[in-house]
Structure 1
Amino acid sequence: MKSILGISAFYHDSSATILIDGEIIAAAQEERFTRIKHDASYPFNAVEFVLKFANLKLSEVDQIIFYEKPFLKFERLLETYVAFAPRGFKSFCKAMPVWLRDKLFQKKQLFNELKVHDEKFNDENKIFFSDHHLSHASSAFFPSPFSEAIVLTADGVGEWATSTVAIGINNNLEIKKEIHFPHSLGLLYSAFTYYTGFKVNSGEYKLMGLAPYGKPIYEEKIINNLIDIKDDGSFHLKQDYFNYATGLTMTNKKFDDLFGQDKRDPKKNKITQFHMDIAASIQKVTEDIMIKLARSLKKEYNLPNLCLAGGVALNCVANGKILKEKIFENIWIQPASGDAGGSLGAALALWHIEQKNLRTINMKDDMKGSYLGPEYSQNTIENELKNIGAKYEVLEEKDLIEKTVESLSNGDAIGWFQGRMEFGPRALGARSILGDARSTEMQKNLNLKVKYRESFRPFAPSILEEDVKEWFDIETKSPYMLLVANINSKKVIKMNDVEDKLFGIEKLNIKRSEIPAVTHVDYSARIQTVSKDTNPKFFELLKKFKEKTNSPVLVNTSFNVRGEPIVNTPTDAFNCFMGTELDNLVIGNCFLKKIDQNSQLKKDYKNEFELD
């Protein structure tokens, strides 16, 4: 039996993964344990969890691999400073002490951190380093259901690369092409995230959600001034509009002047039609680049399958457009596409590429539905709830599902906590907030009363796998909520002339389909198809809901409030339940009604977490 521990840390979304004989056994993000969103620190708790789950001590692990190469990253920092000098002196001075103290000697730092888990761990030679984008590419190809594929990765930046193309065949994966820093599609998108007043590395979802409210009227301005896009989709960013290579901000005054407005200050300025149009414009440019890249890669390598990873692969709208264009026969996207997935990819790269271990292709995929995190026994759940002072009823599974369906069909918002926690940013029916997608009020209520976030943010539908074609314009499964498709025309409610003339956010409350709570303003939805194989309890819930209501669709959003990581433990779930206007909580086989709880246990959750 051979074990590999993968670690991603020190930038954002730290995580740990354990493989045994090449099988993915467990993976989790550090933020879920520390309750610090996008926690970048050494993932002590995540490492402890994966080791415990695999029943291993650290000294028994065969190899440990870190997801990137610190020396190459340091080289980029130095070369960037030399290339742009004297600009960037301020950011250089800020970065240097941290690098010289911590990051440059990461092997020693890792060794010291690892020893805390197990004093018997004493072999520094067990520690290896992968390349950042090879880790992304490996996380996309090796768990995929394909024996061969083109693998496209795109994010902010790794060591030097910001986008790569690799070819995967069986247990081999080779990077063929790279685009290097400072030319980055991820950083371009993040620059607009910053400009519209959202947080870089977490607010990109908001920009994507805002885009359908606007029109891409600045598309030409972006293409003519900020980016030179070649016919094959490769690109070059014009650096005099950006500040990320040399400064402490993403954009500069020249960028503001180009669009005629200063960067939005979220504390002072509301989102206007201008920001919606800006969002629509950069989203359109991103989609067009991804489609051009996909077309040229298909033409060049002529393989039927595409795998995607890196932060840009979380842009599910762009993914949906590639799918709709039918460039490839099949597309598979790593559910933990961001840096968290680096721990998984690094471990798989070591197992398959370096150690040349053969790969068995799983026709579904090897991610186990991405349910790779901690789970809690019924006994543990009841003990935690008792200690908190919660009032609950324990039900048989059949009765629990019946009662949950009854509650959902009455318009209640429910916290749903079952089985192993998801790995990656999406809640997939293990740590989810659920609601009736047919409700006209559900989207607004969940955003304002439960999530405490902007009203424009869309929600995703979870649907029985076998019913997806009847409700959505999509031919493929979407188990990881990473593809956007339009609502089936039979389910659409057309807007009348008055509604059609509305602008931006005014469109929000128009009922535009039979499932308005999950229908975005452009008639699209980010779909999760639910299979009996990977999540039988959630599947059963959807099935019973369909029997009662004739609708196989539920609203599914992550079980947290804005700025909080997804809940991990039963106590996290109860705290979020008591700090929001959720009606009921279903945790293991326990059913909790809000009205039964002691009002003194209510939490002030609205200001508990920093704005994301």
Structure 2
Amino acid sequence: MNILGISAYYHDSAAALLVDGKIAAAAHEERFTRKKHDSSFPVNAVEFCLGSSGLTLSRLDCVIFYDKPILKFERLLETYYAYAPKGFKSFLSAIPVWVKEKLFLRKLIGDELAQIEAFDKDKLKLLFSEHHLSHAASAFFPSPFDEAAILTVDGVGEWATASISHGKGSGITMLKEMRFPHSLGLLYSAFTYYLGFKVNSGEYKLMGLAPYGRHGSQEVKKYMDSIYTNIIEVKDDGSVWLNQDYFCYATALTMVDDRMWEGLFGFPRRLPEGELQQCHCDLALAIQQITEDVVIKMGKTAATLTGSKNLTMAGGVALNCVANTKLALSGVFDNIWVQPAAGDAGGALGAAYAAYYMYGEGQRTRGAFVNVADDAMQGAYLGPEFSSLDIERTARRYNAPYTYYEDFDTVAEKTAELLSLGNVIGWFQGKMEWGPRSLGNRSIIGDARDTEMQKRLNLKIKFRESFRPFAPSVLFEDLPEYFTTNTASPYMLFIADVVSSRTNPRPNNYNQLTIKEKLYHVRSDLPAITHLDYSARIQSVHKETNPRYHRLISKFKEKTSYGVIVNTSFNVRGEPIVCTPEDAYRCFMRTEMDCLVMGNFIFDKKAQRPWHEERDWKEEFGLD
């Protein structure tokens, strides 16, 4: 069976193609259009999926959409009715769009597909999956487990905001769900908004800010008490009740009532790009700790309902790698696997899986559990790849000097040498990653030992907030040498502490230091990737799924004795991760990267011609 899954019209549109149950291709629309979190119909992603597999729309057995618009419309109507006359402005804004377009999504999708190529609409089946079933299917079916509990947590789908299911063989049984307006994802997004970050994209910044909060302090305790007393009630099973007096998302075009929250927490909403103060960090820590507690409670309920020692996760909250790790360390489950595209983009893949196994009656066979990296995701390298000829064309277009090496081993050797000398390198290889993380094919890389690397990457390369941490890419076989874990983490979805033998103690006056002083205290012999709490968001690199990246880090280890480097996404702030050689070269020239390595080509910044653009990239890419 050939099944195309689609997510669109909210944020992070994407397409994924299954061929006889195997992922043939998957990509985010934003990577092609260069619009961050693009919500439009994924024309380019669909064309890529079909083209890379040599298929046409007429050869598909079905197309499936990742949620059910009629159920979502029902939720909107019932919500506006329940809160009337509040929300009238939002009602006038939302309902005409639904009546004109989204209620007739079957026709709209058909028309969009017809723009790609002609096909017989009467013969191509168009299916719709419930939102949280799409998430659940994306979590379970590609996982390494034949049987597992499934936990999905996000903002909201149709009605559900979280769900617990049981996956077994080729089926999924939905067991329990939490419903709108009560939502852990929307709660976290509300704090994301109040602390000055963008909803649906800035949540990971909030998670990164939390370690700057003062653990165990009276200030953090006060904030947590205020949240528990006024905003949220947490049940023993992990379900939450949110006091809607403090929220606006059900009826308005914003998340919260700023004045009520200012009265509750004692400071006004931080404006985007506003100066970060200690109160912001303490509140970030408070909501992060509450989120972790709720996720652990949900996990315990999932274990009780299913009796399983395996857990799979998806939904936007599953991208909170700190909460994932706290759940893993709780001992509730023996094994946890998280879908790398846990957000709405991953719903396209999950919908396709649901159609294959639960509609098309495909049969799933998985061997005994070996390793968390032993899944069906192919390392998440599922997007477009480009030939040497494509790279040469880009070089000619920009009249860009380069050095070409026939042997990749030489490329790895040269790049490792450049890294060891403190150079920042754009690394462009193979297939583009699926999910929000760069995993060594569309990455900016550097030396994790360099005390200036974190500052330089944030301020001179990424042009983003200085507090944001960077992830290590570490050889899987070397994990215990650097971190307090030996469990694979191929998708940057778990954290671990740097081993104590590599760390430096905090100064005696640590709590009196400013945020920037804390940031630039050298915490370990890997300062570029050691966060304030001595943790790191780990990517374990496996020879089986990414031999080139593994070879590069191995060469770096030969030169330095360190089998770990810094890895961040290949983009500037507000820009989607680069997709094509042209995207990579333009990003390289816009920043202070020293070298660009594409395939077997090495571009030295010092050899390039002066770079001029008619339009400043900061105007092209808005704040993220």
Which position in structure 1 is the counterpart of 2:266?
260
Which position in structure 2 is the counterpart of 1:82?
81
Is 1:240 matched with 2:245? yes
Q: Deviations over 1:43-76 (max 9, x none)?
A: 0000000000110011111100000000000000
Is 1:221 matched with 2:226? yes
Q: Deviations over 1:157-192 (max 9, x none)?
A: 000000000000010101110100000000000000
* 1:121-136 superposed matches below 5 A: 121-123=120-122, 126-136=125-135
1:526: how far off? 0.2
* 1:286-297 superposed matches below 5 A: 286-297=291-302
Which position in structure 2 is the counterpart of 1:157?
156
Code of the aligned partner of 2:269: K
Which position in structure 2 is the counterpart of 1:366?
376
Higher mean displacement: 72-81 or 362-371: 362-371
Query: Residue 340 of structure 1: which of 341, 345, 362 is its match?
Result: 345
Q: Deviations over 1:469-521 (max 9, x none)?
A: 12111231000000011111121111231446424332000111110100000
Query: Residue 381 of structure 1: which of 387, 391, 401 is its match?
Result: 391
- Could you tell me how far apart the structure 1 residues matched to 2:125 and 2:388 are? 38
* 1:319-358 superposed matches below 5 A: 319-358=324-363
Aligned 8 A contact 1:431 1:559 in 2: yes
Which position in structure 2 is the counterpart of 1:91?
90
Code of the aligned partner of 2:197: F
- Could you tell me how far apart the structure 2 residues matched to 1:499 and 1:87 are? 47
Aligned 8 A contact 1:542 1:552 in 2: yes
- Could you tell me how far apart the structure 2 residues matched to 1:414 and 1:538 are? 13
- Could you tell me how far apart the structure 2 residues matched to 1:500 and 1:195 are? 24
Secondary structure of the equivalent of 1:202? coil
Aligned 8 A contact 2:155 2:185 in 1: yes
Aligned 8 A contact 1:440 1:517 in 2: yes
- Could you tell me how far apart the structure 2 residues matched to 1:484 and 1:241 are? 32
Aligned 8 A contact 1:214 1:504 in 2: no
Runs (5+) with no aligned partner, structure 2: 215-219
- Could you tell me how far apart the structure 1 residues matched to 2:261 and 2:506 are? 37
Higher mean displacement: 299-308 or 539-548: 299-308
Is 1:406 matched with 2:417? yes
Which position in structure 2 is the counterpart of 1:172?
171
Query: Residue 495 of structure 1: which of 496, 501, 506 is its match?
Result: 506
Which position in structure 2 is the counterpart of 1:61?
60
- Could you tell me how far apart the structure 2 residues matched to 1:256 and 1:71 are? 37
Query: Residue 400 of structure 2: which of 354, 365, 390 is its match?
Result: 390
Secondary structure of the equivalent of 2:35? coil
- Could you tell me how far apart the structure 1 residues matched to 2:619 and 2:73 are? 38
- Could you tell me how far apart the structure 2 residues matched to 1:607 and 1:243 are? 30
Secondary structure of the equivalent of 2:538? strand
Secondary structure of the equivalent of 1:225? helix
Which position in structure 2 is the counterpart of 1:546?
557
Query: Residue 438 of structure 1: which of 449, 472, 479 is its match?
Result: 449
Which position in structure 1 is the counterpart of 2:27?
28
Aligned 8 A contact 2:60 2:124 in 1: no
Q: CA RMSD in A?
A: 1.2
Secondary structure of the equivalent of 1:198? coil
Q: Deviations over 1:130-150 (max 9, x none)?
A: 000000000000000001100
* 1:481-560 superposed matches below 5 A: 481-499=492-510, 501-560=512-571
1:357: how far off? 1.3
Aligned 8 A contact 1:580 1:605 in 2: no
Is 1:212 matched with 2:223? no
1:356: how far off? 2.0
Aligned 8 A contact 2:150 2:302 in 1: no
TM-score (norm 1): 0.98
Code of the aligned partner of 2:266: G
CA 55–517 in structure 1, closer or farther in 2 if over 3 Å, else same: same
Code of the aligned partner of 2:621: F
Which position in structure 2 is the counterpart of 1:592?
603
1:384: how far off? 1.8
Aligned 8 A contact 1:242 1:255 in 2: no
1:607: how far off? 4.3
1:601: how far off? 4.8
Aligned 8 A contact 1:499 1:510 in 2: no
Q: Deviations over 1:99-132 (max 9, x none)?
A: 0111111000001111111113433651100000
Secondary structure of the equivalent of 1:538? helix
Query: Residue 610 of structure 1: which of 594, 597, 622 is its match?
Result: 622
Code of the aligned partner of 1:256: E
Code of the aligned partner of 1:476: T
Which position in structure 2 is the counterpart of 1:277?
282
- Could you tell me how far apart the structure 2 residues matched to 1:319 and 1:450 are? 29
- Could you tell me how far apart the structure 2 residues matched to 1:123 and 1:404 are? 54
Aligned 8 A contact 1:13 1:29 in 2: yes
Higher mean displacement: 531-540 or 246-255: 246-255
Aligned 8 A contact 1:114 1:121 in 2: no
- Could you tell me how far apart the structure 1 residues matched to 2:296 and 2:244 are? 24
Q: Deviations over 1:180-208 (max 9, x none)?
A: 00000000000000001110000111111
- Could you tell me how far apart the structure 2 residues matched to 1:109 and 1:334 are? 29
Which position in structure 1 is the counterpart of 2:318?
313
Secondary structure of the equivalent of 2:101? helix
Which position in structure 2 is the counterpart of 1:148?
147
Please list every run of at least 4 consecutive aligned residues from structure 1 whose deviation after the TM superposition is greater than 6 angstroms. Answer: none
- Could you tell me how far apart the structure 2 residues matched to 1:103 and 1:124 are? 22
Code of the aligned partner of 2:428: F
Aligned length: 610
Which position in structure 2 is the counterpart of 1:182?
181
- Could you tell me how far apart the structure 1 residues matched to 2:227 and 2:455 are? 33
- Could you tell me how far apart the structure 1 residues matched to 2:362 and 2:61 are? 15
- Could you tell me how far apart the structure 2 residues matched to 1:124 and 1:225 are? 54
Secondary structure of the equivalent of 1:209? helix
Secondary structure of the equivalent of 1:494? coil
Q: Deviations over 1:276-334 (max 9, x none)?
A: 11111110100010011112322343211010100000001111111122211000000
Is 1:38 matched with 2:37? yes
- Could you tell me how far apart the structure 2 residues matched to 1:93 and 1:257 are? 30
Aligned 8 A contact 2:589 2:611 in 1: no
CA 590–601 in structure 1, closer or farther in 2 if over 3 Å, else same: farther
- Could you tell me how far apart the structure 2 residues matched to 1:46 and 1:410 are? 38
- Could you tell me how far apart the structure 1 residues matched to 2:616 and 2:448 are? 28
- Could you tell me how far apart the structure 2 residues matched to 1:257 and 1:505 are? 28
Code of the aligned partner of 1:84: Y
- Could you tell me how far apart the structure 2 residues matched to 1:369 and 1:125 are? 31
Aligned 8 A contact 1:375 1:419 in 2: yes
Which position in structure 1 is the counterpart of 2:573?
562
Aligned 8 A contact 2:5 2:352 in 1: yes
Q: Deviations over 1:322-363 (max 9, x none)?
A: 112221100000000000000000000011112221112265
Aligned 8 A contact 2:61 2:124 in 1: no
- Could you tell me how far apart the structure 2 residues matched to 1:288 and 1:423 are? 29
Is 1:249 matched with 2:249? no
TM-score (norm 2): 0.96
Runs (5+) with no aligned partner, structure 1: none
